[in-house]
Each structure stands twice: as structure tokens, then as C-alpha cells.
Structure 1
Amino acid sequence: MTRVLATGTFDILHPGHLSFLEQAKSLGDELYVIIGRDVNIANKPKPIIPENQRLLMVQSLKPVDCAVLGSLTDYFEPLHIIQPDIIVLGFNQQIDEENLKKDLNARGFHPKIVRLLKADTGSEEDMYSSRKIIAEILQKRCFKD
């Protein structure tokens, strides 16, 4: 039984999130997802959707076997329970794979790390980015001529 772990904010759930989770699930038998806590999100704007609601949304997705909120204090804490065989990173997640591997190994974890590719949909119109969705909403709803 191969257990795959994905992590993310999953704010304004969109097709890119679903593609990421479907790709992750295809790598194993079980897909666990850790949802980033509001207070721990530092490398991008704070989420619009509260963490408990983001958790509920991700839990409802077909590829996801189990979703949990991350730890408030230690990024690696949930791994003690999950025990992943594979950790997947999205194409745009700002995580250095070598540093992650060193940090995991120092804590006694030895999963395979896989960086997923951006889904090629063949269309620039696809809403595969929270930032793109927000920009589109602002353009169409707030700044109409």
C-alpha cells in the first residue's frame, strides 16, 4: 500500500488543484492532504477562505482519501501519523526539494519526493490559478467600463 502526501493552501478551489490531486493520487493507493494553516502561510497572500472551510472542500474531492489541517507549530508533525511513502510537490510550490529531503531525513522520514508538472490543458483560458481567478473577478466585476 503506497501512501502519497500532498500539501497546500487550496484557497479558492479550482481545476488546477484538482489536477494536482489527481496526479498525486495516480502515484499510489492512498492520498493524504495537509491543508496549510492560515497563520502559517507566509510565501503568498493570506487565504480568502478560512482553513476549516478549505479543509471541508478538499475532503470532499474524489481523489482524496484523507485531509487534515497542518500543525500550528511544526510542519513535520502530521507526518508521524501519515507516514508517507511519497511526498508530491506542485510545479509552483516554493519548496526546495534537496532542503526538504535533508529536513525529512533528519527527522527520520525517508519518502520519495516527486515534483509534479503543470497540467497541459492546451488552453490559456483555463482557471488553474487562484491569482488568475481573483484578477478575472476584479476585472469583470469591479472594474467594468
Structure 2
Amino acid sequence: MTRAVALGTFDLLHPGHVHYLREAAEWGEELHVVVADGERVSHKDPVLPDDQRVRMVEALDPVTAAHPGDPDDISAPIRRIDPDVLVLGGDQHHDEEEVAAMLTDWGVECEVRRASLAEGEGEQLYSSSAIAERILDEREEKRAVSP
């Protein structure tokens, strides 16, 4: 059985996440998703708690199982899953060769692939940051209009 693994923060789920996970699922018969531990996320502070983000991801059709990230050892869930392929998101900043070297250091033998970026059309938003920014902008506009 071919196991694919995807990873990310998955805060404020949006169509870009669904695109990523659907594409990642094409690389294996099972798709396991590691949801980053909120304390280890360096690029933003997740809005939703870890357990809620895991449950949301697990509810998505392409996902076989969602796993919480380990607060002390980022390699632990990957080593437990022992994937055949690790699929990076199209917008994730990780370098494929560096990830492959890290996996080798952890004793995990698998391919590293990169999903394509979701193509936005018109008003579609494919990033948590863009969604949050739009919410804040709309709230600000409403406050400016309301007495």
C-alpha cells in the first residue's frame, strides 16, 4: 500500500488546502496529513487550536488520517507514518532537496514531490492570510460606515 503524506498548519481551511490535499492523495493509496503543532509554527500564530485543526483536516474526503505534529520532534509523526512519498504544498517554502536530505537523516526513504498551486479566479481566496486580511478589511469598512 502506497502512503503519501502532506503537511501544514491548515489554519482557516480554504480551497487552496483542498486543492493541495486532493493532489497529494493522487500520489498514494492512503493520504496521511501531519498538522503542525501550533507552538512550532513560526510564520504565524494559528487561530484555531491544534485539536480542531486536526479534526477539520481529518474530515476532508481525500484524507485517510490526520496526525498532530509533535511539539518536541518534528520527525516523529513522519517516522511513524513511514511514507512512500512526501508531498509539499505549492506555496510551502521548503526546498525539495533539503527535505529529501532531512528525511534520509531521519531514516525515512521516500520521494519528495511538490503539489501545484491552486489557480485563483476573480474573488477566490487561496491563502489563510488573504482570508484573514479580507475579514479585517470588511470589518473595518463596516465600522467606518456604522455610527
Give the match for residue 10 of structure 1: 10
Equivalent residue for 2:101? 102
Which whole-Å deviations, capped at 9, do the CAs of 1:7-54 have from their partners, x for residues lacking one?
000000111111110010011100000000011001x11101111110
1:139 corresponds to which of 127, 137, 140 = 137
Does structure 1 residue 127 correspond to structure 2 residue 125? yes
Q: CA deviation at 1:119?
A: 1.8
- 2:4 is paired with a residue whose SS is strand
Deviation at 1:116, TM superposition (A): 1.0
TM-score, scaled relative to structure 2: 0.92
Q: Secondary structure at the match of 1:134?
A: helix
TM-score w.r.t. length of structure 1: 0.93
* Counterpart code for 2:7: T
Amino acid at match of 1:137: I
| Partner Cα distance (1:136, 1:99) in 2 | 34
Matches for 1:1-145 after TM superposition, within 5 Å: 1-42=1-42, 44-121=43-120, 123-144=121-142, 145=144
Please give the alpha-carbon distance, in whole angstroms, between the structure 2 residues aligned to 1:110 and 1:57: 29
RMSD across aligned C-alpha pairs, in angstroms? 1.1
- What 5-or-longer segments of structure 2 have no aligned partner? none
Kindly name which structure, 1 or 2, has the bigger radius of gyration based on alpha carbons: 2
- Identical-residue share of aligned pairs (%): 38
Task: Output one character per residue of 1:58-78: Cα deviation in whole Å (capped at 9) or x when no partner.
Answer: 111111000010111111111
Secondary structure of the residue aligned to 1:74 is coil
Q: Counterpart of 2:104 in structure 1: which amino acid?
A: N
Amino acid at match of 1:20: Y
